[in-house]
Structure 1
Amino acid sequence: MFINASLIVQMIVFLLLVGFTMKFVWPPIVKALDERAEKIREGLSAADKAKAELKGAEAQIAKELAATKAESGKLIGDAEKRAAAIVEEAKKKAEEEGAKIVAAAKADAEQQVGRAREALREQVAALAVKGAEQILQREVNAGVHAELLSRLKTEL
């Protein structure tokens, strides 16, 4: 087995190429790969951190949403109570106004009854005088007998 000179020259060139590559080409490639791996690790850790923050934010949002719902429920309940109180107050005022109207109507009716009774008394007194005139066949003087007619009115 003879190794010829071209094979030896090729081996020397190959070894020089490997040496050159190991000294000048390989370190920047390894450095770039290490930097890339570090960036990937940083990106993954940032993604994990962002996920954790997102979960925390979602939990905070859920808490705030629950608090807001509770507060709005309370406000709605208060508004319903206030509306019911306003309705009750309006009912009371309406009942009071109705009672005043009924009382005024009763007083007016009593006044009208009193006036009607007075008018009826006067009419009865006049009829009594006319009846007495006819019975006595003479005219009774109302001015002379005013006291008698007053007593008659009060008795009726």
Structure 2
Amino acid sequence: MFINASLIVQMIVFLILVGFTMKYVWPPIIKALDERAAKIAAGLSAADKAKAELAGAEAQIAKELAATKAESGKLISDAEKRAAAIVDAAKGRAEEEGAKILAAAKADAEQQVSRAREALREQVAALAVKGAEQILQKEVNAGVHAELLARLKTEL
């Protein structure tokens, strides 16, 4: 092999370039790559941490949702019980009111029957007196025969 001077000069220039690159160019590139690798690692670490926090938050949400469902079910059950109690109380009051109205109606009916009987007795007594007048062909004095008329009324 024949090595000439241009090849030696090219090798020297290449070695100077490699030395310059190793001293001044390569360290900032390595530093930038290391920083980027650190940022990527930190990002991956943060992503893993965020996934763990998300899983924890989802578990907490599920727990709170279950508690809320249980509480709402209890509230609905309590509301249904209160509604049933209110309906029962209203039924009781309505029955009491109905019984009062029925008793008042019965008392009123009894009073009306008593009045009707009394009016009927009065009419029967008046008819009996008229009948007696016609039979006897003379007038019956109510003042004189009051005791007889009162006894007749009580018998009717």
TM-score range relative to shorter protein: over 0.9
By how many angstroms is 1:11 displaced?
0.8
Aligned to 2:87: 87
Identity across matched positions, percent: 90
TM-score, normalising length: structure 1: 0.93
Determine the C-alpha separation between the residues in 1 that align with 2:144 and 2:39.
134
Aligned to 2:43: 43
The one-letter amino acid of 2:89's match is: E
Determine the C-alpha separation between the residues in 1 that align with 2:12 and 2:131.
170
Determine the C-alpha separation between the residues in 1 that align with 2:64 and 2:111.
69
**Partner of 2:101: helix, strand, or coil?**
helix
Alignment of 1:116-135 (within 5 A): 116-135=116-135
**Partner of 1:105: helix, strand, or coil?**
helix
By how many angstroms is 1:120 displaced?
1.2
TM-score, normalising length: structure 2: 0.93
Determine the C-alpha separation between the residues in 1 that align with 2:143 and 2:101.
43
Determine the C-alpha separation between the residues in 1 that align with 2:107 and 2:150.
26
Determine the C-alpha separation between the residues in 2 that align with 1:147 and 1:28.
144
Q: Does 1:138 align with 2:151?
A: no
Root-mean-square deviation (Å): 1.3
The one-letter amino acid of 1:72's match is: S
Which is worse superposed, 52-61 or 19-28? 19-28
Aligned to 2:62: 62
Aligned to 2:5: 5
Determine the C-alpha separation between the residues in 1 that align with 2:112 and 2:103.
14
Structure 1 residue runs of 4 or more that deviate by more than 3 Å after TM superposition: none
Determine the C-alpha separation between the residues in 1 that align with 2:2 and 2:127.
176
Aligned to 1:21: 21
Structure 1, unmatched stretches of 5+, are none
Determine the C-alpha separation between the residues in 1 that align with 2:25 and 2:13.
16
Determine the C-alpha separation between the residues in 2 that align with 1:26 and 1:127.
145
